[in-house]
Structure formats: C-alpha cells, structure tokens
Amino acid sequence: MELNQRTRRSALWAAYGDALGFITELADESMVKRRTGTRTIDGLVPWTRRIGGKFGTDIRLPKGCYSDDTQLRLATSRSIRGNGEFDVEAFAKVELPVWSSYALGGGNATKCAAEQLCSPDSRWFSNFFQTKKSDYVKAGGNGAAMRIQPHAWCSPTHSSTWLLARDIIRNSVVTHGHPTGILGAVFHGLCLKFGMDHGRVVQADELGAVFELLSNIPKLIREDRELSVFWIPQWEDKASQRLDVGFHDSFQELRRDLDKAMVATQHYQSDIEKPYHDLLNDLGGFAKATLGSATKSAVFAWFLAVKAQKEPLNAISVAIHALGSDTDTIASMAGALIGCGASCDPPEDTMDKSYLISESDRLTKIAEGGVADSFRYPDLLYWRSPKVQLDAIGVKDGQFFVAGLGMAKPLDVVADGKAKDLSWQWFELEFGQRVLLRRRESPNQLSTESLPLFEKEGRAVTERKNAQDHSPLKNSEAKSLGTEQRLKPASVNLAADDVIKSNFDAKIIGAWLLRFANESEGGVDKAIAFAAIVAKAKNARMLRDSRKTN
C-alpha cells in the first residue's frame, strides 16, 4: 500500500471512530436513546447534544459530526509547517485558545490550558495552571494522546523515533503535566509510527524498542533546551518529586497494564467484545478515577487494534458500545492504528472528509521529503487571543472571519444562544473545516493582527532571522534605545530566548526593556510580559542549580 493511502485511511478511520464514539460518549443506554432515538448505534446519524455545559443549549448535530478529538488533531496538523517543523508556539498561542470557542467536548485539562494560554505572558513550556477543575501536574488524561497522530503521519518512513517522540512530548506538555499524560501520547504515537512504516499493527513481541524509548523520556526532555531550562525545575517544584521518579512510576504502571492486555489478546480468539470488557474492568476503564487515563486509553486502543487488525469496523463498534468508557477517544485511537493497514475506507463519510484527506496528503508530502504549504497563522508578534469566546468570530471588510484561522462562510443558524442577540451558527472555514460558534447578532470588528498572514515560507524560521537582525545589542539601533526613536516591533518570546542564551546578562535584559518601552503601541504590555517570563526563567534556573548542588 502506498504511503498516502496509509495516511488517508489512518486519518479517516480515526475520524470515523471519533464520530461514532462521540454519540455514545459519557452516556448510558437511556441517554443514547434520547440523543438518537435508538439504544444501539449501527452507523452515523444526526443526534442531539447539549452544548455549553449543564445549563447549555440542546443542538441537533449533523450526521458525521466529530468531537474535540478530531478538532485538536486537525489543529496539530495545521501547526506542522511545510518543512516538517512542529510550530508549538502557534499551536499553543493560536490554535488552542481559538479552539475553545468552537470545541465540541474536551477534557478539563485541555480547556484550562487553553484558557491560561490566552495570557500574553504564558508560554507553551511553562503553562502550569491550577484551577478548581484541573491541576497541570496532575493532568494525566488522554487529551494529548488523542491529537498527536499527525506527528506520526508526517514522519519519514523508518526515520528516527526519537525525533517523533520529541515533537509528541512538546505537544503534550502544552496541556498535560502528569507523566501518564505524556507517556500515553508517546506510546500511542510510536505504535502508530510502526503501523505507518509496516502497514500493520505492531504485535506484542515487537514492542521492545517502544519500551526502550519510553524509559528514556526523561532524557529526551532534558535534551530539549526550553523544557530543560523552564519546564523541569518548575515541574519538580510543583510535583514535589524528581522527574525520573515520576516517569518511572508511570512507566511501570503502563508496563503492568500492557502485560495484562497482552495476555488478554490470547483469550477468546474469535471474540473481541468479551475480553475487551474484561480488560476495561480489570484496568479501570469504567472507574471514575482512571476513566480517560492516557496510558490506559492507549493500551485499550492497541488491544482493539491487535484483536481486530483486519476488521476496523468491528473494533470501533466494540469500543463505542462499551458504555461508560471513553468511547470516542478509544475508538478514534484504535481507528488510527488499524487504518494504517486497512483494505478500505470507512463505510460512511464523516464531516469534512475532503479537508481530512487534504491534510493527510500534505503530511504525506512532508513524510516523503517534499516541501508542502504551511498554514498562514497571524504574526505572533502582534497576535492577541480573543478575550472571550464570542470574540472569536468577527467581521473584517464585510466578511466573517474566525480569529487566527481566517475567512469563514456562514452556514445554518441552529439554536438561540439563551441570551438576547446571541445564537449558535455553523461556519465553514476557507480551508474546508466546519465549526460551530456562539456569535453576536452584530459581531465585533476584527483587527488585522487577528488575521492569518498570506505567506508560505516557514514563519518560525523567518521570525528567528528577524530577531537576530534586530537584537538590541547587535545592531546600530541599540545606540538609540534611550532616545525617542521608534524601533520596529520585537517579539517578547524571542527577546526572552536572547536573554536566556546570554545567561541572563543584565545589559541585554535592560536593552530589551528599553526597546519595548520605545515601541509606540503595546510596548508597556510587552515589557511587563517580558519581565515576567525572564523572572520565571531565572527562578527556574536557580531551582535547577540548587538541586545540582544538594
């Protein structure tokens, strides 16, 4: 099978499992019947779901509608540049905050992370949120594991799994800080990478290399500059344990769960449902405390893929009818694994199938060594996340736009927003994805800074070059920092990187502060954000150094 066929079918079966499992997610038989009119799900159907929490609005979702699993998978895919580089800044600062305005589902950790990332001084590697709903260092759910498939889809055949694991770790730590959340994502990604390389599901006796890499995740994290300098000291401080200890404990739990799953694959050779339900019960797949665990979800998905590797529809059907388990995510992850070797596409089309295929083909081009187009994000030098979800949809020059994502075509209004002048409406983004947004009758005007740039060159590379060209102590403009001369706007993030590379040189810190102060618009806000980031970085460095001496 050609690589593009593997990628397409992996993506389509993942979306199909998500769309079917979304119907039965967090539901018992009576709720399934209220949603669909029937107690069993034999295929995609329109159905009713409450959007906006307990006191939200009941909305009729179209046939083939997918959940946050596929939404965030597409967000990850867009964040992969045409040269294969994962633009984690764009994912963290644009995709996640905007996603919260059109999310169909989503775990507490991912939602809390997205909200925190709206702050100008938050960074992808230091998003240590703590709320009544979720605590970053305790976030071990499958919110990262369900979205990281594009990293495997764009990975060159038989290429380094270390590079793949690095990108998955970077993606994961944006929202999840517990080792379970990171390990589950990497384990699933490595299993998917095997499927992409070999066109079949990885078997139990072939997991040795996977285990070896998983045991070395702390080493991988230490080799990442941002994670080593910023993330590790803060994590160890807030988790009150060494990184190696935390990952060792979670890794051993994953090994124990996999050992049980391996034994279960030998039971009931002609049956999947009975051993799957037994495994769910044994590993806590129905228990509130472990429901949605990233490692357990990855194990369940692998088990289904091994047991039904020639029958993806059977595996998905078993997953979505295990009511009380995390039906959509497990079905979606299993679909991704089995789809690599599937002999056919799913029997029905999910919503936005054409866009799913388009992104799959773009990732295949990257995997094959070509240079593909990159998504046109706003310039992060000026980008500000919408302050409230209603601000995500606005107008510019008479056209609807979704902040950060581009032009949007208005479709059906499906419900009133339970408040004056508010409604729920579907929009189709210019690249082919449909999103459901709560909007004002008269939307706000969007600024130019909220709109995507029209370029194909990797923005991250260009931005780094600009930062070097305009570093405050490396060009003639530095001599005028104390004057009224207005300098070209600079990036807070890249200024912080410059300071860290200088080992917190006081002259460089002062030069950047003066430079921000001389910017005519937004300079004070940038100076405050810059100072906060540098202070956090210095504190993290001191914590790390003190541990080395003790």
Binding annotation for Mg(2+): 67-69, 326, 328-329
Where does 308-411 have alpha helices with state H?
312-320, 327-339, 353-367
Q: At a CB cut-off of 8 Å and minimum separation 6, what does 110 contact?
A: 68, 72, 96, 143, 175
Q: How far is CA 236 from CA 126, 216, 217, 242, 490, in A?
A: 12, 17, 15, 6, 32
Residue numbers belonging to the annotated binding site: 67-69, 326, 328-329
**Per-residue buried b or exposed e for 191-228, using 16+ beta carbons within 10 Å of the residue's own CB:** bbbbbbbeebbbeeeebeebeebbeebbebbeebebbe
Q: How far is CA 22 from CA 313, 427, 435, 522, 527, in A?
A: 15, 20, 16, 43, 44
Distance between CA atoms of 507 and 510, rounded to whole angstroms?
5
User: What count of other Cβ atoms lies within 10 Å of the Cβ of residue 381?
Assistant: 18
Contact 489, 382 (CB under 8 A): yes
**Nearest partner of 336 among 152, 109, 469, 478, judged by Cα:** 152
Q: How far is CA 386 from CA 111, 117, 119, in A?
A: 15, 11, 10
Strand partners, 435: 427
Distance between CA atoms of 9 and 340, rounded to whole angstroms?
6
Distance between CA atoms of 251 and 238, rounded to whole angstroms?
20
Q: How far is CA 328 from CA 24, 42, 75, 335, in A?
A: 8, 15, 18, 10
* Type of residue found at 458: G
User: What count of other Cβ atoms lies within 10 Å of the Cβ of residue 19?
Assistant: 29
* Angle, vertex CA 30, rays to CA 29 and CA 35, nearest 5: 95
Q: Read off the tokens for 58.
A: 């009941």
Q: Read off the tokens for 263.
A: 């034994």
